[in-house]
Amino acid sequence: MRDGVRLNIRCVCAPIIDPDRRDKEDLLAATITLADAKPLYLEYQAAGVSFHQTLRTEPWGARTFIVRDPDGNLLLFAGAGP
């Protein structure tokens, strides 16, 4: 829970997405939408988080970054652009 938002994740015994395919195709397990992704990105960066994709502005204007969780899932964070 953070800033009044709660994310509930389901625990499963086996990967939902084939790990080899996930890694080859950069398949996302979740997309989390924020008002602005940059403040969270900077907080994660200061904490030493390793990024699968660093913060960037997409061609359609959104700012995004991707982290890999301890189970290897790719989590995309997206927010409004500058």
- 39-69: per-residue pLDDT in tens? 999 999 999 999 999 999 999 999 999 999 8
* 9-13, 28-32, 65-69: the lowest-pLDDT one: 9-13
Report H helices in the chain.
Answer: 19-25, 38-46
pLDDT in the model for residue 72? 87
Going along 17-73, which residue ranges are E strands?
28-33, 51-57, 63-68
| pTM of structure | 0.84
Domain ranges of the chain: 19-79
Quick one: which of 80, 54, 81 has its CA closest to 67? 54
- pLDDT classification of 1: cutoffs 50, 70, 90: low
Architecture of domain 19-79: 2-Layer Sandwich (3.30)
Beta-carbon-side half-sphere exposure of residue 77 (alpha carbons within 13 Å)? 23
